[in-house]
Structure 1
C-alpha cells in the first residue's frame, strides 16, 4: 500500500488515501516530502494538518527521523517545521488556521501534503486549487475518513469518479500484522487493537467504520452528534475560564467504567476512567479529585449504584466543613423544560449537541478523545408523543446495547458536566463555607 501511494504521487497530480489507524500513512507521507525535496531542486513543499501539534509531532517528527538516518546525507537545514536548502528551495509546515500560508507559493514543482485530511478546513482546499496550475503539482491527502461532509470526502469522491487509481483505501485488515495474523511490523495496527475497538466502540460506531475499516461513515439522520462537529472539537482551543464542573458517571464492576470529566468553561478533560471499582473506592477517588481540582460544582450519576457515591461525598463534605455544590443527577427525572425534553438526560444531551454544532466544545485530541467521540456519534435521538405534544428523547443505554453498542460512560460524564443544573436537586455547600 505504501508503494502504491508513492507511485501514485509520482504519476498523478492528486492522490487521496482514506486509511485506518496505524497503517504507516504519515510515515510514507514524510518520506515523500524528503524525496520531492531532493528530486526537484528549487521546489517548494507545504505540509498541513488541523493542529500545530499534528504538524510538528507527526509529519515533521517523521521527517526529522528519516533525514537523520538517511544513508546518504540529504542536505539542507532541518528545523522544527521547516527544511531549507536555499531561500527559494524549502519545505515548511503550517496549520489549517492559516490558509494564506499556502496561497502565495510559486514554483515549477510544488508538493502539498495534507495530513489528517478530514479535519482540513475548506479555505485550505480552495487555496490548493489555485496551486495546481504549476508545471509539476502534487497533492497528497491522507488520514482517517472521519468526516463524511468535508473537503476530504469530496476529494475522494472526485478521484473515485475521474481517476480511481489515485484513490487508495486502506483497511486495518489490509495491514501486514492482520494479514499475517501476528506482529511482523511493530507500531502498525494489530489484531488486538482491532478487537479492542470492536469491543469498546461497536462495529456500528462511525469511528469504527472510519478508523478500522478506513471508510467514510454514513451517519444516520438521527445521529445526535455529527462526526464533522466532533472533528472540530478535537482541534478547538478555548481557555479554562468559566464554571468548573466535575461530573462522574458511576459504574460498579462489569465491563462499564467509572468516568470523571472536568469542564472548565468550554474545555472538557478526563481525570478518571477505571473499571471494577466498588462505591467506596469510587467515592475516595472522587473526593481526591474534588480536593485537587476544587470544582464549583460536582455532578454525580445518582441513579443505581451512583446514589451510594453521592451519599458518601456529602458525608465527606460535612466532615470537612466545606466543599462544592453537589448535583445528584438522575437522567430519568423531569427536565427543566418538560415541554421540549422527555427527561433530564435528553435535555443535557441536547444542550451539549448545540455546543458541538456551534463549535463551542474543546476536547483533548488523542486516544482518549476517540472513546468519547465514538460514543457521542453513536447515540441516536427521536421524538416521542406525550399527550398532545411531541418531545425529544435520547435513546437509553439498554437500547444502545441492543444495537451492539457499548455503554456511553465517557459521553454521559461529559453530558452531565454540561447539563443545566436542576436547582431543586442541588445541595449548596460552597468552598470556604
Structure 2
C-alpha cells in the first residue's frame, strides 16, 4: 500500500471535518503522533543511545559534573556498576538521570527499568521523586506516577520493594534492554541482588547499584571489592565541585556537599570514625574487634521497618538524661518502646536549668520514667526533679544511674558502665532490638556510639573505655550516645536504682 502523501492526508482531514467525524479525526491525530514519536525516538537513539552525557546536557539542559559523567558512561559501557558514595553528591538524582536516559533512547517494549531500595518509602520518596522531576523537566514521553512509568499503554518502569527473601521478586519481565537500579544499596539484602542478576542476563542489560557505604557486612561491600566483576566508582566529598574546585553553575554547587559541612564532621565525628569514612570519604570501614558497638550492626538498625508498630509496641515511653559537666552538653533522649525518638540538648551544667528542660521533655513525650546519670552534677538534677514532682509538675519516676557502681553481673563486667554499653549498645544493635531509623540527631548519636573501645581486665571481665578517656582521645564527649543508652536502660536488662 502506498504511503499517504501530505496532500492526501490534508484532503482526508478536510472531508472528516466537514462530516463532523470526530472519532476518525482522533484516530488520524493519534496515528500522526505515533509516527512523529517513532521518528523522534529514532533520532534520539541515533544521537544519544551511546551519549548519555550529551542527552542530559542537550535534552534536559542540565549540567553534568565529573562523577555524574563517570557513572553514566560506566552504565553505558559496563553490565554492572557499583557506586559507593559520600553524602550530599546527588546519588539518587544521578540514578534518575540514568533511568530517564535509558527509557528515552530505547523503544517502549524493548526497554524496561526496575528500581528497588531497602524500603518502599525510600523507593517512592527518594529515587522516584527525582524520576518524576526529570520526566517533567525534559517533557519526556508517557506519564509517571509515584512508582511507575507508562508510555502509551506500555508499562516501561516501576519501583518495587519485594520481600527480602524473594529471589524471584522481579520475574516476568522480558525485554532486550533491562536496567536495574538498586538505590541505597547497602541496605538491600543478598536475595534481591540475586533477583536483579536474574533479570539482566543478556549483553544489553545493566545493573546500577548506588549508595552510602555504611555497612561493612553488606552484600554491597562484596560487590565493591576488587575481583567482584563489577565496575566500581567511589565518590569522596573531596571530589565534589565545592571542594575540588571543579567549575559548575551556582545552582548545582548549592545542591552539593560543602566544605563547611565536611570540616564540621571532621571535628564532630573524627576522621577515623566509621560514619566519617562512610558519609565524607565514601569508603567502607572495618568492624574493629576492640570497638564495643559495630558499625554493621548499627547500620541494620537504621533501616526503617516496613511494618509499622502497634500502639502497644511504642511503650514504655522513657527518657535518658546525660548531664553535662565541665563544658559538656546536657542531652535528653526519648525512647518509645524499641524506637529511639526525639532529643533535647543544651550547654549547661546547672541543675536549676536542666531540671525544667527535663520536665518540659516529660510533658512533650508523656514519659513515665526518667533515668539520670547521677554522677557529679546529675545528683543535683535528680533532687530538682524530685522537688518538681512534689510540686505536681510531673508524675514520672526519676531513676539515678551511677555507671561507676558494681555491675549486676560482676563476674562478667567491671562496672555498670561496661554492662550498659555491652548489653544495650552492642546487644540491641546485634539483635536489631532497637529502631534507630527515625532518631533525631541520629548521625551524631551513632558516631559517638561507634567510638568507645573495650578490653578484658586482669580478671577477664569486660571493661569499656571510661568517658574521660574517650574525651581525651577524641577531644569530645559521647554525651548523645550515653543519653541514648540511658533511655533504653531499664529493669529486665541492667538493674536500676529507683529514687522516687
Query: 1:172-225: per-residue Cα shift (whole Å, max 9, x none)?
Result: 111100112999510211110001111111111001011111111123112222
RMSD (Å) for aligned C-alpha atoms: 2.3
Tell me if 1:170 matches 2:235: yes
Gaps of 5+ in 2: 1-66
Q: Which residue of 2 aligns with 1:251?
A: 324
- The count of residues paired between Structure 1 and Structure 2 equals 419
Match of 1:320 among 378, 392, 397: 392
Q: Which residue of 1 aligns with 2:173?
A: 105
Structure 1: distance between partners of 2:171 and 2:293: 33
CA contact (8 A) 1:346 1:394 kept: yes
Gaps of 5+ in 1: 429-433
Rg larger in structure: 2
CA contact (8 A) 1:210 1:217 kept: yes
Tell me if 1:66 matches 2:66: no
Q: Which residue of 1 aligns with 2:34?
A: none
Judged with a 3 Å threshold, the aligned counterparts in structure 2 of structure 1 residues 205 and 32 are, in CA distance, closer, same or farther, namely same
CA contact (8 A) 2:142 2:151 kept: yes
Match of 1:399 among 459, 462, 469: 469
What is the TM-score of this pair, normalised by structure 2?
A: 0.79
- Secondary structure in 1 matching 2:200: coil
| TM-fit CA distance, 1:87 | 5.2
| TM-fit CA distance, 1:265 | 1.7
Q: Which residue of 1 aligns with 2:54?
A: none
Judged with a 3 Å threshold, the aligned counterparts in structure 2 of structure 1 residues 218 and 356 are, in CA distance, closer, same or farther, namely same
CA contact (8 A) 1:348 1:420 kept: no
Q: Which residue of 1 aligns with 2:488?
A: 418
Tell me if 1:151 matches 2:216: no
Q: Give the 5 Å matches for 1:13-412.
A: 13-41=79-107, 42=109, 43-70=111-138, 73-86=139-152, 88-95=154-161, 97=163, 99=166, 100-157=168-225, 160-161=226-227, 166-180=231-245, 184=250, 185-237=253-305, 239=309, 240-252=313-325, 254=327, 256-276=328-348, 278-320=350-392, 323-352=395-424, 353-365=426-438, 368-385=441-458, 389-404=459-474, 406-412=476-482
- Secondary structure in 1 matching 2:412: coil
- Secondary structure in 1 matching 2:159: strand
Structure 2: distance between partners of 1:335 and 1:418: 16
| TM-fit CA distance, 1:54 | 2.1
Judged with a 3 Å threshold, the aligned counterparts in structure 2 of structure 1 residues 390 and 169 are, in CA distance, closer, same or farther, namely same
Structure 1: distance between partners of 2:95 and 2:440: 21
What is the TM-score of this pair, normalised by structure 1?
A: 0.90
Q: Quick check: which one's strand share is greater?
A: 1
Structure 1: distance between partners of 2:246 and 2:498: 54
Structure 1: distance between partners of 2:333 and 2:140: 47
Structure 1: distance between partners of 2:194 and 2:345: 41
- Secondary structure in 2 matching 1:83: strand
Judged with a 3 Å threshold, the aligned counterparts in structure 2 of structure 1 residues 253 and 79 are, in CA distance, closer, same or farther, namely farther
CA contact (8 A) 1:204 1:405 kept: no
Query: 1:291-338: per-residue Cα shift (whole Å, max 9, x none)?
Result: 232222110111122222111111100111861211111111111221
| TM-fit CA distance, 1:281 | 2.3
CA contact (8 A) 1:261 1:271 kept: yes
Deviates most, 107-116 or 128-137? 128-137
